[in-house]
Structures are given as C-alpha cells and as structure tokens.
Amino acid sequence: MKDWQYFWQITGTNMQAEIIPVICTLWMARIILGEVPDRTKAHIVRSALACLIIMAVLASTGAVCYITGFWDWQHYTGELIWEYFTLLCVMLLLRFAWRTSTRNCFLAVLMVEILCSYGIFLSGLYNYGTVYDLSVPAQRRSYLFWLLVIQPLVLLLCGLVIHISGMGRVYRQWLEQETIHKGILCLLVLYPVFDHLVQRIFYEKDPTVSHLLLPLLLLLLIHLIFVYVGRDRQQKQAIIAQQASLQQQTIYIEKMEQIQQELRSFRHDFKNMMAGMYLQAREGDLDAVQDFIQEMTGDFDRQVGGQIQLLNQLGNIHMLEVKSLLLDKLSRMQQDRIDCELEVLNPFEATRMRSTDLCRCLGILIDNAMDEVRGRENGKISLMISSLDGCTTFRIKNTLYGAVDFGRMEQAGYTTKGAGHGIGLENCRRILAKYDFVFPFTAVQNGYFVQELKIQE
Amino acid sequence: MLPVYICEDDEQIRKAERLYLEKQILIEDYDMEIVLCTGSPEALLDCLEKDSRQGVYFLDVELKGASMDGFRLGQEIRKRDARGFLIYVTAFADLAFETFRYHLEALDYICKENPERMYQGLSRCLKSIVARVERERGEQQEYFTVKTLDVVRHIPLDEILYFTTAEGTHRIALHALQERLEFIGSMQELEKRLGEHFIRVHRAFLVRADQIAQIDRKSHELILKNDERCPYSRNMRKRLLEGAAVQAQN
C-alpha cells in the first residue's frame, strides 16, 4: 500500500518536472522539423492528448525505475536504456504530430536531445562548482531559480540562435535526402552512449573539465557533421549539374541536327520552286510569282522557323536547372505530339527561390498542363518566363477541356485524371508555403487554364 | 472619338498602314481618327502628354534607330493611357505575344510580311476594338483590383467567394469562382474597403454574403454555392441565421 502511495507521489513529481523539458523539446522539434503540416483544431487536440499520454507513461515508468533501482545498474546500462526509451517515446510523439517518416522523427529527436543537453550544459556554467543543499531554504530557492529560470532561458537562447541561423532549414534539407550517410547516422544514434562516456571519463576525474569540455566537444561535433554534410551535398550537386549540362548539350546537338536536316530538305524544295518560279516570271504571271514567294516563306517558317525560335527562347534561360527541366518537358511534349510554345523575352538569369523547389513546382504545373492536353484535339500549351523590373514570372497556360473544381483543387489528391495523379498540387502548395516572396495564381481565362508563379527578386 | 496612333520605322509600311486604316474608318464609319503617324516613339509619347483619351496604337516591335523598342514603348504608353488598345505590327511571326499580352495587355498582333494578311489583321483589330468599346459601355460590372508585384489584376466582385489569411505574414488568399491568388494585404482593410457585401464570418475569413448557400450548424461551417466550406465563429452565428431568415423570406 505504502509502495503505491510512493509510486503515485513520484509519478506526480515527475509529471511536473517534465513540463518544461517537454515544452522545450516540442519547440526545438518545431524549429528542426518546421511547422506541423496538419494544423486543424482536431489534430492539435489529438496531438496534445498524445503528448499528455506520453508524459504520463514516462513519469510512471520513471517512478518504477526509481523504485526498483533500475537506474543504478552497473556501467550506466540502466540509465542508457532509459535514455533510449525516452527518445523512443518522444519520437513516437513527433511521428504522431508531424506525420513524417520514423527515420526523420528519430533523427530530429536525437538532434533535439543534443541541443537540449547542450543548452543544459551551458546553463550549468551558471552555477558551476556549487553544490546545493536543498534543505537550506535560501539554497533551495537559488537552485529552483536556476532550474526554472536560468535553464529555460538558456535553452530559449540556444533555440533562437539555431532558428535565426537557419540551421533548422539545413537540417531539413539534410533529412530530405534519400540516403543519409551511415557514419553520421551512427554518430547521432550513439550520441547518448558517447555522452555518458565523456561524462564518465572526465567527470569522475575532474568535474570542472567536464563542464567546460562537453559543450565545446558537442559544438565541434555538430559543426563537423554539418560541414561534412554540406561538402558532401555540394559535391553531389556539382555532379548533378555536370550531368544536366551534358544532357542539355546532347539535346542541343540533336535539335541542331534536326534543323540541319530540315534545312537540307528545304533547300531541295527551294531549288524546285525557284525553277518553277523562273518559268512563271518569264511568262509574266506576276500573281503566280507572288503566290510562290508567300508559299516559300510560309514553308520556311513551318519547317525550320519553329525549331530556331524554340532554341532562341531556350538560349535566354541562363539558369541551368530550369533549362534542363524545360528541355526534358519539351522533348516529352514532342513525343506526345503536344503543341507547345515557349516565350522567354528577356534573359532569365537567376531567382531567389531555391532551384530544387522551383523545379519541383514548375515540373508539377507543367505535368498538370500536359495531362490535360495529352491526346486531345487542338490542345496547346504556352510557357512564358518573364524577368522584368525585379520580378520573375512563370506562366503555364493550357487549353482546358473540362471544368476545374477550384474548391477541391488544393486538397490532397485532387485530380481530374485517374489514380496516381493529383498529389502534385498539394505538394506544390506545401513547397510554396515557406516562401514569403512567391505569389501563386491560378485561373480559368477564356477557355484556358492558367497557372502562374510570381517571384519577387 | 478614338485617336489612332501609328509608330513604324519603315516608311513604306507606315504609309500603307495609314492609307488602309483611313479607308476602313471611312467605309465602316468608325468613330476614330488617325492623329499621328510617325517613326519616332518620342514623338508619340509627346503627343500623349497633351491627349488623355483612350487611344488605339499600332506599334512596330523592332524600331530601328529609335531609343526604345516596341515593348518599352508599350510600357510607356501604358503609364499614360492605361485603357488604350495596343496592337503590334511585326515582321516576324515569332513574336513573344503571350509576354506582350501579359505585361502590356496587348490586344492583338499583325504580321506585316504579307500585305494581304496585314490588311486583314488591321480590319480585324478595328472591328474587335469597336465591339469591345461597345461592350464596355453597357457593362456595369464592378471589379476588385489588386496589384501583385508587377501586374494589376481585376476580378469581378460578384465572382469572389471569400478572402482568407494564408501562410506567411500579411498574406491574403482570394478565392473566386474562376480564380485563386495570393497577395499582401490586411483583413481589416479589406473589410473596410469592400463594405456590406462581404461578412467577416471568422477572424480569418471574409465571405461574400450572396455566395453563401447553406449554414452547417453541426460543423460550424458555411457551405458556399460552389460547395467550398469555410468556418464561422460562434459569435457570428446569430447574425448569419438572421441573414438567412431574411433571405428565406425574400
């Protein structure tokens, strides 16, 4: 009976003690993972409930561990297992709230753990060397002041620094990669072990050294990881850029060969026509000569003009990624026999939007247009890129054959096609949500569907 | 009377254009007159300084020897005459017309390679201008005008469903029957500007009153005529129900 009372008492205290760490953890997780995607009231209530349940589980298991002496196991094994258990619980909570993959959640939790312990170590510098005697009221007060004010403040500061420095974004980018380097994964996963080791090696010998060394070591470690990741990324991007430029050159050469072919056949026709025209001119039939000249210019436009025009427009795009994307889409449209026009009046150099995000969005919008027009009669797609007066506009216009349900368009899975389509627009909306300087526009105008991205440069 | 301006660097074509247009205006008895026929964009802009009427402009795209091209000239004309009709007369069929239409609201373009086709184009343009002027005269449509960066968009007020706050600072999303766009603004200002046709049913929603079809009291949502839903706040319920009762009586 007495045990039960003891258990409830400890559980209650644990619950109280968990409040600040949980708030910190959630806040840091938000910095790292970005905003919760589903922000409906129902989901937030559900997440809050899940949070309470996880807190209760942690508090009660903590009490059990305390009573049974689990934490005093040899070589810190008890503590380590406990730590992984906590990480797992928090991971489940994040997984529930953010609904991203388990791997990403777990990595985010580890990162939060590193950040929090870093903050706590830093705050430890405040009272470093002092040992509180909690039975003395004055000392208890100063301990509580440290616990409830200094520590959260330092954590807040750490979070702010990370938020402002944009580390969250870098981390998210890193999480977006499909394969994450195994070495880094191991380092991160083994962090609690590493933490204990450092503490054990240094703390038992000289507590002062551990207090100063640990934050430094951690900082260095995190820094190294990101430098490594950054370089790795850069290298990969360089390779991708090279491949893209190679692919572009191939397509260019193909196009040039096509033009050459067409010029050759035109030259052949041209000779025949000239012979015919010569005869007619000699007979004095001026009307026929005029007709000939017109026919000839028309033929030239049809056979060669279009291709040259397209290459001219493509030549105005100086952003490699966008050019590759368009070349790819244009050649696909040619395969599918979709009539397409491209207009790039002024040279398009660069944009503030991240190129991967821009390409993903443009890809989605162009695919939508292609899906609508493919296989239909008289369908046409007009693409326009316009850089003018500090502002870049991407405009995709296609013939529309049915009605567009604007009300449902932005919901996940809206499509006028069969299964497998329709995740596009939702993705596009999600990508654009993080840009303050991009303005999307969608409309039906005179039987055309118009999709537009406007970027303030 | 609509003033007609021609800016074209080739004298031959300029003359031909002028003659044909004069003939058409006379034959069809259009309410237009040719005010200026020049090769210099500056002369045209100078002329506009004195005349503030809505005009018709036939412009060449490549003006040889001039300080600006047809696109720049179009931009300058737009600054002085926002409602004028811009028509581009060009030697090449590969004009980036979508871009011209998008930025300058150009009405049409005409190929001058072939005189017959050019004449056809000129009379087609005159016809559509007259029709458009006629239409605009009878029209009572009110528009909501919004500027996003370098374009001004006009959305018919009675096609707007609602405004809502979007992600990002001071961002408003406009949901209309045929359009969806985002711009920078504030709900308070919109509410003030749009007046009684729009109701602020929720902190984040400003709905056009006559687009509301039903009130779903269970889920606290309004169902609009196009089946879109938007939430309403509790303290709006009474006002909405009263409004619905009035509508039902009518």
| Distance in angstroms (rounded) separating the CA atoms of residues A386 and B66 | 23
Which residue in chain B is spatially nearest to A311 when comparing CA positions?
Answer: B94
| pLDDT score at B94 | 61
- pLDDT higher than threshold 70 for residue A155: yes
Q: What integer pLDDT is reported at residue A287 of this predicted model?
A: 85
| Optimal mutation site among A384, A399, A408, interface B, most CBs of chain B within 10 A | A384
Instruction: Please tell me whether residues B213 and B241 are part of one structural domain.
Output: yes
Q: Distance from B183 to chain A by nearest Cα, in Å?
A: 7
| Helix or strand holding residue B88 (H, E) | strand B85-90
In A, residues 408-437, which contact B (CB 8 Å cutoff)? 409-410, 433, 435-436
Q: Is the pLDDT of residue B7 over 90?
A: yes
- Taking an 8 Å cut-off on Cβ atoms, the answer to whether A454 and B151 are in contact is yes
Pick from A290, A346, A388 the residue to mutate for testing the B interface (most B CBs within 10 Å): A388
Alpha-carbon radius of gyration of chain B: 24
Highest mean pLDDT among A13-17, A392-396, B227-231: A392-396
Is position A327 within any domain? Answer: yes
Q: Give B23→chain A minimum CA distance, Å.
A: 24
Domain boundary among A289, A315, A341: A315
How many Cα atoms are found within 13 Å in the side-chain-facing hemisphere of A221?
21
A294–B114 C-beta distance less than 8 A: yes
Domain match, A44 and A126 both: yes
The amino acid occupying position B226 is N
ipTM (interface predicted TM) = 0.85
List of chain B residues whose C-beta atoms are within 8 Å of the C-beta of residue A297: 113-114
Per DSSP, the three-state class of A393 is strand
Of A391, A406, A433, the CB nearest to B149: A391
List the 277-336 stretch of A: residues with Cβ below 8 A of B: 294, 297, 301, 305, 309, 312-313
Split at pLDDT 50, 70, 90, the class of A203 is: low
Same domain, B203 and B126: no
B59 in Cβ contact with B40 (< 8 Å): no
Residues from chain A contacting residue B179 (CB–CB below 8 Å): 406, 441-444
Q: Clarify whether residues A61 and A184 are in a common domain.
A: yes
B156-168 confidence digits (pLDDT tens): 998 999 999 987 7
SS3 labels along A134-198: CCCHHHHHHHHHHHHHHHHHHHHHHHHHHHHHCHHHHHHHHHHCCCCCHHHHHHHHCHHHHHHHH
Interface test with A, best of B78, B99, B132, B234 (most A CBs within 10 A): B99
Query: Is the same domain home to A302 and A321?
Result: no
Least confident of A44-53, A222-231, B169-178, B193-202: A222-231
A454 shares a domain with A403: yes
Shared domain for B187 and B134, answered yes or no, is no
Residues in chain A within 8 Å Cβ distance of B183: 439
pLDDT in tens, A376-429: 888 899 999 999 888 999 999 999 888 877 776 666 555 555 444 445 777 888
Asked whether the beta carbons of residue A388 and residue B103 sit closer than 8 angstroms, the reply is yes
Residue B178 touches chain A, beta carbons under 8 Å: yes
The pLDDT of residue A219: 63
Pair (A113, A257) in one structural domain: no
Where among B138, B171, B203 does a domain terminate? B138
Q: What is the pLDDT of residue A415?
A: 54
Q: Are residues A194 and A72 in the same domain?
A: yes
Query: Is B78 in the A-facing interface, judged by CB distances under 8 Å?
Result: no
Question: Do A305 and A170 sit in the same domain of this protein?
Answer: no
Helix (H) or strand (E) holding B233: none
Flag whether residue A345 sits within 8 Å of chain B, measured between CB atoms. Answer: yes
| N-to-C CA span, chain A | 70
Number of H helices, E strands in chain A: 16, 5
Residues A363, A293 within the same domain: no
* Domain end call among A283, A315, A347: A315
Judgement on whether residues B163 and B122 belong to the same structural domain of the protein: no
Residues A243 and A332 in one domain: no
Can you state the angle between helices A151-165 and A102-124, rounded to 10 degrees? 130
A123 contacts A157 by C-beta, under 8 angstroms: no
Q: Are residues B18 and B123 in the same domain?
A: yes
| B182 → closest Cβ in A386, A391, A439 | A439
Contact call for residues B138 and A403 (beta carbons, < 8 A): no
CA angle B133, B136, B142 (to 5 degrees): 160
Q: How far is the C-alpha of A344 from the C-alpha of A312, rounded, in Å?
A: 9
Q: Which residues of B touch A407 (CB under 8 A)?
A: 175, 224, 226-228
Our count of domains for chain B comes to 2
Q: What residues pair up with A348 in beta bridges, in sequence order? A: A317
Partner-chain contact B113 A309, CB within 8 Å:
no
Q: Do residues B6 and B90 share a domain? A: yes
B98/A433 Cβ within 8 A: no
Whole-number Å distance between alpha carbons of A275 and A295: 14
Answer yes or no: are the C-beta atoms of B51 and B3 closer than 8 Å.
yes
Single residue among B112, B138, B164 that ends a domain in this structure? B138
Confirm or reject contact between B182 and chain A (CB < 8 A).
Answer: yes
**Final residue before a domain boundary, out of A267, A284, A315:** A315
Q: Let me know if residue A293 belongs to a domain.
A: yes
Same domain, B96 and B156: no
Beta bridge partners of A449: A398, A444
Range picked from A40-49, A110-119, B1-10 for highest mean pLDDT: B1-10
Read off the pLDDT of residues B69-112 as tens digits, 9 standing for 90 and up: 889 999 999 988 888 999 999 876 667 888 988 988 888 888 88
- Closest partner CB to A436 (pick from B102, B148, B169): B169
Q: Are residues A22 and A171 in the same domain?
A: yes
- The CATH code of the domain that includes B128 is 3.40.50.2300
CA angle, corner A75, sides to A70 and A79, nearest 5? 40
Residue-level pLDDT at A212: 57
- The Cα–Cα gap between A188 and B143 comes to 58
Residues A33 and A40: their CA atoms lie apart, in Å, by 18
> What DSSP string describes A256-292?
HHHHHHHHHHHHHHHHHHHHHHHHHHHHT-HHHHHHH
B103 in Cβ contact with A388 (< 8 Å): yes
Centre a 10 Å sphere on the Cβ of residue A286 and count the other Cβ atoms it contains. 10
| Alpha carbon separation from A53 to A25, A35, A99, B29 (Å, rounded) | 16, 22, 18, 83
Q: Output the pLDDT for position A308.
A: 80
> Is residue A22 assigned to a domain?
yes
The number of domains in chain A is 3
Tell me: pLDDT of B246 over 80: no
B78 and B53 within one domain: yes
Q: Lowest-confidence range among A97-101, A111-115, A202-206, B119-123?
A: A202-206
Domain for residue A215, yes or no?
Answer: no
Last residue of a domain, one of B120, B138, B156: B138
Q: Quick one: average pLDDT of B213-225?
A: 85
Residues B124 and B39 in one domain: yes
Q: Are residues B104 and B159 in the same domain?
A: no
**Same domain assignment for residues B8 and B125:** yes
Contacts (Cβ under 8 Å, ≥6 apart) of B107: B85, B86, B87, B125, B128, B129
Answer yes or no: do A176 and A194 share one domain: yes
Q: Is residue A173 part of a domain?
A: yes
Set of chain B residues whose Cβ sits within 8 Å of the Cβ of A388: 103, 150
Chain A CB contacts of B224 under 8 Å are 407
- How far apart, in whole angstroms, are the C-alpha atoms of residue A345 and residue A323? 15
Residue A222's pLDDT is: 67
Residue A418: its pLDDT value, please? Answer: 44
Pairing of strands B205-208, B198-202: antiparallel
Nearest Cβ partner for A442 among B71, B102, B179? B179
* Cβ distance of A395 and B182 shorter than 8 Å: no
Average pLDDT over residues A186-200: 74
What's the pLDDT score for residue B174?
A: 93
Domain range spanning residue A301?
Answer: 236-315
Interface contact A439, partner B, CB < 8 A: yes
- CATH code of the domain covering residue B199: 2.40.50.1020
> Which is nearest to B44 in space by CA: B27, B13, B67?
B67
The reply to whether A142 falls in a domain is yes
- Distance (Å, whole) CA A362 – CA A359: 5
* Residues B32 and B103 both lie in one domain: yes
By C-alpha distance, the chain B residue nearest A441 is B181
More confident residue, A391 or A205: A391
Q: Do B226 and A406 touch (CB under 8 A)?
A: yes
Query: Domain containing B204: what range?
Result: 143-249
Instruction: Examine the domain organization and report whether A167 and A303 are in the same domain.
Output: no
**A361 Cα distance to chain centroid:** 12
**Is there a domain that residue A224 lies in?**
no
What CATH number does the domain containing A327 carry? 3.30.565.10
Question: Shortest CB distance from B150 goes to which of A301, A391, A440?
Answer: A391
The structure tokens 């009379």 sit at B123
Q: Is residue A218 included in any domain, yes or no?
A: no
Chain B, nearest residue to A305 by Cα: B94
